[in-house]
Amino acid sequence: MPTGKSTRRRFLELAGAGVAAASPVGVSSVGSAATENGWSTVESGTGKTLYDAVSTLEGPYAVGSGGDVLARRAEGWEQVLDAGPTTESNTLRGIDVTDDGRNVWFAGSSGAVGKYDTATGEMSDYSAPNSKSSTWESILIGGAAGSETIYLANGSGEVLVGQNSAGKVTWGDALEPGGGSSIKGGDLIDPTTSYFSDTNAKVYESTNDGESYDTIGIEGGSIGLYGVGAADRDDISVAGGDGSVFRYNGAVWTKLAVGGSGLNALERAGTSGLTVGGSGTIYRRTWTGWEEEETPAGNALQGVTFGTSGPDVAVGSSGTILERQV
């Protein structure tokens, strides 16, 4: 398992953590034979697009079209929500988890925002915060359950930050880090230090709880950016819509040609990394660069997460779920 500073979608592992033992109804984990790299397709129970995934104390979760929220149980994947937090089937585009792996937060179209307690199964609706009803493209969570900080970013280039206190969320004022281009990806180093990227080739950094953002790149860039993985302030990777990955060392951005199709998401965990894109492509960060990994999928992949108390997971179009045991 990768080591290093905890980043988005990575939580502090607790002694004895394991995949939940509950048995889902009507969902099977049977899938294709694993490739040489260990990736195999598994049944998701849905044909809808899945946009993002996260690892929790109870195993991986994924979200997607129609407000679907899926959870990986011991026997396979099951649906825990089928119409999102508002019960209006708004598409969910982002998901993240508290540092202790307990509270899962998700967000999406029509301002949908919800929290799911993986220990109790309780769902709370926080949709349209500050009357914002545009599509949330990215959500980041920092801190422990009950006192977490919530970062939301939308298609209008706005960032909204909230603070949870025992179930009551206080939201600040929305701000616009750049020129209003859609923000598609983000990551946290800690609850106070956040990064977002947009479709205008810009990356923004805040070190003050999202009260203000500085533009840290990319000078002369013209490529839409769709995923951020921040291992540290001087070790950041960003996925590009042309199949490239941009690396930041705290001073200089370097463009690396990775694949032939656009990349839709990127995840970092210490020195390791995963990025996914069209036609079922997955690339892993190694000491020598980003290397393509064979997968049995042909559908576009939209989200990826490293496994903690479960497998590595990539999700995408037509309900595609890829797993690799760790």
CA proximity to 207, closest of 189, 219, 185: 189
* Number of Cβ atoms within 10 Å of the Cβ of 79: 16
Q: Tell me if 152 is assigned to some domain.
A: yes
* Model pTM score: 0.92
Q: Tell me if 293 is assigned to some domain.
A: yes
Q: Are 19 and 309 in contact (CB under 8 A)?
A: yes
Q: Tell me if 187 is assigned to some domain.
A: yes
Q: Tell me if 7 is assigned to some domain.
A: no
- The string of pLDDT tens digits covering residues 209-261 is 999 999 999 988 899 999 999 999 999 999 999 999 999 999 999 999 999 88
How far apart are the C-alpha atoms of 49 and 299, rounded to whole Å?
10
Q: With DSSP H G I counted as helix, E B as strand and the rest as coil, what are the percentages for the chain, rounded to 5?
A: 5, 50, 50
| Interval 53-69 mean pLDDT | 97
pLDDT at 30: 54
Q: Tell me if 33 is assigned to some domain.
A: no
| Interval 92-117 mean pLDDT | 98
Q: Tell me if 268 is assigned to some domain.
A: yes
- The string of pLDDT tens digits covering residues 6-40 is 444 445 333 233 333 333 333 445 567 788 889 99
- The string of pLDDT tens digits covering residues 249-280 is 999 999 999 998 899 999 999 999 999 999 99
How far apart are the C-alpha atoms of 168 and 176, rounded to whole Å?
25
- What is the overall mean pLDDT for the chain? 91
pLDDT at 6: 44
Overall number of domains in the chain: 1
What domain range includes position 85? 40-324
Q: Tell me if 14 is assigned to some domain.
A: no
Query: CATH number for the domain including 75?
Result: 2.130.10.10
| Lookup: tokens for 302 | 């939209």
How far apart are the C-alpha atoms of 249 and 246, rounded to whole Å?
10
Q: Tell me if 66 is assigned to some domain.
A: yes
